[in-house]
Amino acid sequence: MEKLDDYVEKHHFPNRSQAIRHLIRNLHVNEIWKENQMAAGSIVLIYDHHKNRLVNSLLSIQHDFSEIILSSQHVHLDHDNCLETIVVRGKPSDIYNLADRLTAIKGIKHGNLAISGF
C-alpha cells in the first residue's frame, strides 16, 4: 500500500481509487496496442520554423500518413517558434511510427504523443 500511496502522491490523484482506475486504463490501452486495435491521439510538436527543410519534412511525412491524420493545427508561438498539433486515429503501430518520424526531424525542439484505445 505504501507504493500505491507514493504513486497517488507523485501523480496528484485525489485518492487511491482514482490511481487504480488510471492504472487499469493504462493496462487496457496496452492490451489494445498488443492486439493492434484502433486508437486515437494527438501529437504535439514545438519547433523553430527557420530551420532549413524542417517544414517541408513535416509536410512530407504528414502526407505519407494522411490515412491516419484527422486534422492538424499550426500555431505561431512567437517570431521563431511554432506549435503543431496533429490529431490521429488508426492502429497504434502506425501512430507510433508517425510520431517517431516527426519527432526525429532535425529542428524539432519537443514532441509528445498522447494516445488511447477506443
Alpha-carbon gap, residue 67 to 44, rounded angstroms: 18
Q: Is the pLDDT of residue 14 over 80?
A: no
91 by Cβ neighbours in 10 Å (0-12 / 13-18 / 19+) ranks as middle
Least confident of 15-19, 21-25, 81-85, 107-111: 21-25
- pLDDT at position 30 is 67
- Greater model confidence, 23 or 32: 23
- pLDDT at position 35 is 66
In tens, the pLDDT along 54-89 reads 999 999 999 999 999 999 999 999 999 999 999 999
Contact 13, 22 (CB under 8 A): yes
